[in-house]
Amino acid sequence: MSLNLSGNVFSGKIPASLGNLLRLTTLDLSKQKLSGQLPSELSGLPNLQVIALQENLLSGDVHEGFSSLMGLRYLNLSSNSLSGQIPSTYGFLKSLVVLSLSNNHISGLIPPELGNCSDLEILELQSNSLTGHIPADLSRLSHLKVLDLSRNNLSGEIPEEISKCSLLTSLLVDTNHLSGSIPDSLSNLSNLTFLDLSTNNLSGEIPANLTRIASLVYLNVSNNNLEGEIPLLLGSRFNNPSEFSGNPNLCGKPLDRKCVDVAERDRKRRLILLIVVAASGTCLLALCCCFYIFSLMRWRKRLKQGAAGEKKRSPARASSAASGGRGSTDNGGPKLVMFNNKITLAETIEATRQFDEDNVLSRTRYGLVFKACYNDGMVLSIRRLPDGLMDENMFRKEAEFLSKVKHRNLTVLRGYYAGQQQDLRLVVYDYMPNGNLATLLQEASHQDGHVLNWPMRHLIALGIARGLAFLHTSNMVHGDVKPQNVLFDADFEAHLSDFGLDRLTIATPAEASSSTTVGTLGYVSPEAILTGEVSKESDVYSFGIVLLELLTGKRPVMFNEDEDIVKWVKKQLQRGQITELLEPGLLELDPESSEWEEFLLGVKVGLLCTAPDPLDRPTMSDIVFMLEGCRVGPDIPSSADPTSQPSPAQQSETR
């Protein structure tokens, strides 16, 4: 049983009578004006799994009684006026996945007992008055993905053991009083995306091995006491001076301060370069003199020969020149910039059969995608971008940026070609042998859906959500989420494609008329059509449409102007005709099985994503949490619930 009253203007205290709802699993009273202390009766609800009380005016100590709720998975008390200390007994919450106590007045130490919350993925304690050291016990949180301890009064060193949290994607400890050096072991966090160590008292040099973190997209070490030279690769990768400023003894790019030894090395390099240029010039001059003398001697000899002999030698010279030209093209031709392989442009043109029409895999607003089969057996996807592009240097910079966006559910940029001619720009991706989701759904409808059972559909939806959530955490927007942009590798794992290409080109309407300037009709959100601008919220809407299509088999273009897929799904739910929602391949689902519940939760997530008001839609991180947790049952709070009107079947179940 769930109670979701979020986003209203309720005031006063939380009623203690809520403690009588013994079957309650979800309590969402977020975004209100509730005040006073938390009633102790809430700790007597044995089935409570989700508590969302953020963005209120609650006061008093952090409620210790919640530690008795052994099934609690989500606890969000952020943005209130809570004080006191974090109870050490919260370490008993072994099922806890999210703990957010940020933006309060909490003081004292971070309890090392939190390291016992073995399922914890998100720990947010920022903007409080916490003191003491960062407990090394947090390194035992093997599932931890987000650790935000910023804007507190923490001191001591960053524990080396934090590198054991191998799944960590965000480590934010800025605006504290941390000292010591930056641990070398941070380079072992291979999934790290955001690292903020700014505004502390850190000293020593910046570890050069931080460049080994391929997924890192944001680094800030400003306002510390760091010294020495910024590692060259790190400085070129993060070229914003503000991210290194405020360290008086730090030097090297991107800062304007040159290191003393660097200046000396540059002087020696210039001297060596001058000597090499002078020696090369002397050798070239000597060669020119020799060639001139040799040519003069040959010319004088030819004057003595007849015209017939001259005609016989001319074809030989032409043949020799033609042969030499082919050899230089094959061996020294332009090459593609590849991050793992070495491929020439000539090999790529041959692999696509001169960009032959028969090798076209897809046609999009961002050009044609070709299948490229190389002589060594390697197969890649080559996208030829349309004309009217940015200059070469800007193209290279944007392509290098996109190559760093890596996730198992995204198509990763493997290379690019940016020649001097603006009419040829290529980007290289892995070849996806199992096509796209649109084709798969079409084949499933022709085969009564048997090719796509429920576990496969659930994994596809989860893969798309994870890829899109990663883009959003990297401050990127996709802009055109649809089944055609979901590709499958040899293991049928979903990969979201066609993101970030607006950074490389000016889109041209090469696609069918169903495309708009901000997405594809049927999938693009209403506000994006009106404003012409895409956002994370419009991506969530498009994902919701794709999810509903994946679950029901109904394409958005099948409906008329008066009804769309969202209205149709709501109508079936309100009538209690849930079986009408099932794709033919899902008709065998047992209404008493857990898969049936998972299907209904998937439909509900799709409707949450397509809420008319963008502010009412969940974030992609929330959606991943919901889809990952659909096998254990609890609903995740949201300020909009399009299924709040229960179907007749749901009403009878509630009774």
> Of 214, 187, 210, which is closest to residue 403 (Cα–Cα)?
214
578 in Cβ contact with 649 (< 8 Å) = yes
Give the count of alpha carbons within 13 A of 197, CB side only.
Answer: 21
∠ CA(577), CA(582), CA(588), 5° rounding? 110
> Of 96, 108, 30, which is closest to residue 68 (Cα–Cα)?
96
Quote helix, strand, coil % in the chain, to nearest 5. 40, 15, 45
Compute the distance between CA of residue 391 and CA of residue 444 in angstroms, rounded to an integer: 44
553 in Cβ contact with 583 (< 8 Å) = yes
Q: Which of these is catalytic: 28, 196, 480, 635?
A: 480
What separation in angstroms does the CA of 245 have from each of 56, 199, 252? 37, 10, 11
133 in Cβ contact with 155 (< 8 Å) = yes
Compute the distance between CA of residue 180 and CA of residue 183 in angstroms, rounded to an integer: 9
Compute the distance between CA of residue 203 and CA of residue 18 in angstroms, rounded to an integer: 52
Neighbours of 200 (CB within 10 A): 25
Cα-Cα-Cα-Cα dihedral sign, residues 588, 592, 597, 603: positive
What separation in angstroms does the CA of 477 have from each of 469, 504, 518, 534? 10, 14, 11, 7
Compute the distance between CA of residue 49 and CA of residue 636 in angstroms, rounded to an integer: 9
548 in Cβ contact with 603 (< 8 Å) = yes
174 in Cβ contact with 149 (< 8 Å) = no
With tokens 């409080």, the residue in question is 128
Amino acid at 634: P
Compute the distance between CA of residue 66 and CA of residue 47 in angstroms, rounded to an integer: 12
For residue 251, the Cα-to-chain-centroid distance in whole angstroms is 32
Output phi, psi for 516, to 5 deg.
Answer: -115, 180
Strands 203-204 and 225-229, by their bridges, are: parallel
Neighbours of 255 (CB within 10 A): 17
Amino acid at 55: E
Q: Is 641 considered catalytic here?
A: no
Question: What stretch of H or E contains 228?
Answer: strand 225-229
Compute the distance between CA of residue 169 and CA of residue 323 in angstroms, rounded to an integer: 55
Compute the distance between CA of residue 569 and CA of residue 552 in angstroms, rounded to an integer: 9
Compute the distance between CA of residue 403 and CA of residue 575 in angstroms, rounded to an integer: 49
> In sequence order, what are the residues at sequence separation of 6 or more whose Cβ sits closer than 8 angstroms to the Cβ of residue 289?
none
Compute the distance between CA of residue 626 and CA of residue 621 in angstroms, rounded to an integer: 9
Question: What stretch of H or E contains 204?
Answer: strand 203-204
With tokens 């043949």, the residue in question is 319
Compute the distance between CA of residue 462 and CA of residue 628 in angstroms, rounded to an integer: 7
First to last CA, the chain: 11
> In sequence order, what are the residues at sequence separation of 6 or more whose Cβ sits closer than 8 angstroms to the Cβ of residue 202?
158, 178, 179, 180, 181, 182, 221, 224, 225, 226
Which residues have a catalytic role annotated?
A: 480
